[in-house]
Structure 1
């Protein structure tokens, strides 16, 4: 069995051209060697896995490469001495090092000392190293490497030339992984490599370790599905489908999709953070000037551009704010799942156009998603469609099935835009109900059919967001009298006046559904019901006094206010 060498060691850079994502630093070091302008103490600092130790070794070899003519590639052949400060952090270790520094090299011009993880040195060891670092022998060069520069004492920092290594970009890491795939004869999807590069979080060594792990899982063919399954990351397809549901105001489907995410073992915090990042990427994809900030593969970029056309900027801004608030409150929440569910329900309600004036945390009523009849779904379609499109479109009113020639000609005469024509059009709407329908159908129907359609119309009003009218219509069930006369009882005169204003569309709806154009609605007020309603404090007190007369005596003795 052949010995396996991990990719992080196998493809470790051997010269400055192989170092990924640190072009400015490698150019500076090469020019310093070429111009003989190299400092005797250098500090390489930055995140893990970005090439600090590799650059230190390459630099150390290049310093003596011109003066040493040896075929070997061992460190000692180039007078390189590497010290791990994590395990050699005492004063005695530093004293032993300073004793060795005094001895000049037998071959070559310089002795190079690489001290890795230098921040692990003790305070006493730092102090013992100060004098040597400030005035080193002419033949000694120190290269210090650390991931935590803030732990190094300022007196050491002031004696070093500092090079800050940056995180490796996602695209740079992906391109390097693609090069390795070509060398290893591995077929990999562009999106699969992009997910690995994102998961590495700017560390090339981590990217290569993840790459080895995924190759062991799926063999020589890396697919996006295999990578997401092995790394247990939320695929961007999850966020694309979730955003589509949010834009379409489908709250039940959104909650089911979130439950699927939780069933896969992901935390709600991880999901809401990813959703916020997805909204940010959609916002970036809105403008060509910011499109380069979108660090995704070519296939994913096309999907972002497509979905960005569906989502309006106000929606994305509100959605990002709500997701950010959820992120801030997640740790302190007692019921974290409920917090995320409320957030995504609020996001799904942003583009809902049923309510004219919505509160900040508005959620679409549950009644909107109840099992509706085909007629209600037809009414709800324009509302949902209007919510999806960024620029609202005009929804045409359904035309009545029957219209007499007299009514048509009257509409032509009132087509001009004026106060008089507006008044005439209002009169024409009344004429639709009051018109003589002697020649139109008058099918027989039952009171049960009437009441079912009455409830259906209440649901339609709720779907449109007309809650006030829906509550008035739903106060009582209508009664069927003779000659297709419908009687509807209301508790007070105010509600009767409001109902009469909206009686025309109700009558039209019932006539069309029952196919009976002789149907009419009359209203009446039930005084006994009206007395049950108490509005002012005095009326409430009077009602309570009827039940208990002693309240009047109590009110008089203590001189109480109502």
Structure 2
């Protein structure tokens, strides 16, 4: 005979105290401190994914504020008001579904009712679930009451989509973020439920259920309830995979190794098996992403290399594989042919693992080009060995002055004689300096031993022509010397 009073696991195992709430310690601590310090706000906004405890926390908070010996975070199990609140039959704790009461008329009725004092409790508490479903007119009608409510009124809003709540509403509330619950915490809670319900469940099966729940405790409890109905007193991993069309860990591991090794035949074979068995390809892709992510973390911890996929790959290769899998997720989920899109995504991931990043190639090519250019520059600028200069004898009686023409500052057409290097002292021209330079030149040219201008020009021209080609190149490159005919020198310039 069917038991008409049966309640599902999610309802029977709903937390009755804040310390039974899983994965939301930050919320429990904040609300507990607010109660102990007497800093209870008039409006709270609970935000988070489905099945993370928002509505349950709202009921627990209402019970903590209204029970007979409160306010207190810990309440007595036999409290009549507490039982009424948790069962939804308390007159002063009003739960409203905003999805079906989203009009401005319902909000106006609420605004009128909140003026009356509570019937049996300390506070009149309004719990509005899925508050983002209210219309903009309803939000606007609620603003004034929400900003300055009566002292006996408290508002608790719960929503899964906070971005749809008007900023004017959010700014008037204390916001609490409910986080997705980790698979380990969900698995531990499911194990506790199975022990209490006298159900034998494989740890792998509970782990698969926790991953299917996507961070929601209520989802995990509902899946467990369904698996107990399917399996009876023993829940196995195989049964979970069959009921929900999941790929086995061995198949996911084979896909990961096929991507790392770029084995297209293996990828086609495994994906064909998944499609033939009617398994959820999108879920298989999500599981494959988790495997790639774990291998990426392992390679980072190993110092840049990891072989979690059967092939030693760098961190960059793991990251490119994971990025390719993530890029194809929407295509597999919403495409017309999920099998074809799934295979294309696998092939792209395999090619991404073998390819190299374009920016890395550009950087490497640039560094090689810079190194080659530096070597070439060093080879071109290398100074050859100093050549031996031909000694040119000068008559002893010659007292010709060693002159240096001033730099050409007027035009390019005027000739200059620049300073010769120290390697050829015979050609060095000493430049007269100071105020006595003209006098010294005049004294020098007044001597009777000075040769004629033609002889002096011929002598200098012979010395210049005697220089080797390598010496000329050094003087031109390193000292910017310019060799001109001696007959082009302007004597006025010299003085």
Q: Normalised by the size of structure 2, how large is the TM-score?
A: 0.61
1:321–1:89 distance in 2 versus 1, CA, 3 Å? closer
CA distance in 2, matches of 1:4, 1:285: 47
The offset of 1:16, in angstroms, is 0.5
The offset of 1:227, in angstroms, is 0.8
2:126: which partner in 1? Answer: 113
1:128–1:306 distance in 2 versus 1, CA, 3 Å? same
Mapping for residues 20-31 of structure 1, pairs under 5 Å: 20-31=22-33
1:85: which partner in 2? Answer: 98
The offset of 1:96, in angstroms, is 2.0
Residues 125-163 of structure 1, C-alpha deviation per residue, up to 9 Å, x if partnerless? 222222211111111111111222222222222211111
Equivalent in 267, 270, 277 of residue 257 of structure 1: 270
Residues 162-217 of structure 1, C-alpha deviation per residue, up to 9 Å, x if partnerless? 11211111111111111111111111122211111111111111111111111111
The offset of 1:5, in angstroms, is 0.9
CA distance in 1, matches of 2:42, 2:176: 14
Report if the CA contact (8 A) 1:61-1:78 is conserved. no
CA distance in 2, matches of 1:161, 1:119: 16
Kindly name which structure, 1 or 2, has the bigger radius of gyration based on alpha carbons: 2
The offset of 1:98, in angstroms, is 2.0
What residue ranges of structure 2 are gaps of 5+ in the alignment? 71-77, 358-495
CA distance in 1, matches of 2:348, 2:127: 56
Equivalent in 169, 192, 206 of residue 179 of structure 1: 192
1:407: which partner in 2? Answer: none
Moved more, 219-228 or 326-335: 326-335
SS at match of 1:229: helix
Number of residues paired by the alignment? 341
CA distance in 2, matches of 1:218, 1:232: 16
Report the RMSD for the aligned CA atoms in angstroms.
Answer: 3.3
CA distance in 2, matches of 1:346, 1:80: 55
Equivalent in 225, 241, 257 of residue 254 of structure 2: 241
The offset of 1:99, in angstroms, is 2.2
The offset of 1:331, in angstroms, is 8.3
2:313: which partner in 1? Answer: 312
1:539: which partner in 2? Answer: none
1:38: which partner in 2? Answer: 40
Equivalent in 78, 81, 84 of residue 74 of structure 1: 84
2:168: which partner in 1? Answer: 155
Q: Is it true that 1:141 corresponds to 2:142 in the alignment? A: no
CA distance in 2, matches of 1:308, 1:57: 47
The offset of 1:254, in angstroms, is 3.6
Report if the CA contact (8 A) 1:285-1:308 is conserved. no
1:281: which partner in 2? Answer: 294
Report if the CA contact (8 A) 1:283-1:308 is conserved. no
Report if the CA contact (8 A) 2:47-2:175 is conserved. yes
1:120–1:245 distance in 2 versus 1, CA, 3 Å? closer
CA distance in 2, matches of 1:328, 1:45: 26
Q: Is it true that 1:102 corresponds to 2:115 in the alignment? A: yes
CA distance in 2, matches of 1:318, 1:21: 32
Q: Is it true that 1:17 corresponds to 2:22 in the alignment? A: no
What residue ranges of structure 1 are gaps of 5+ in the alignment? 291-304, 353-357, 361-562
CA distance in 2, matches of 1:111, 1:334: 52
Report if the CA contact (8 A) 1:242-1:257 is conserved. yes
SS at match of 2:16: coil
2:375: which partner in 1? Answer: none
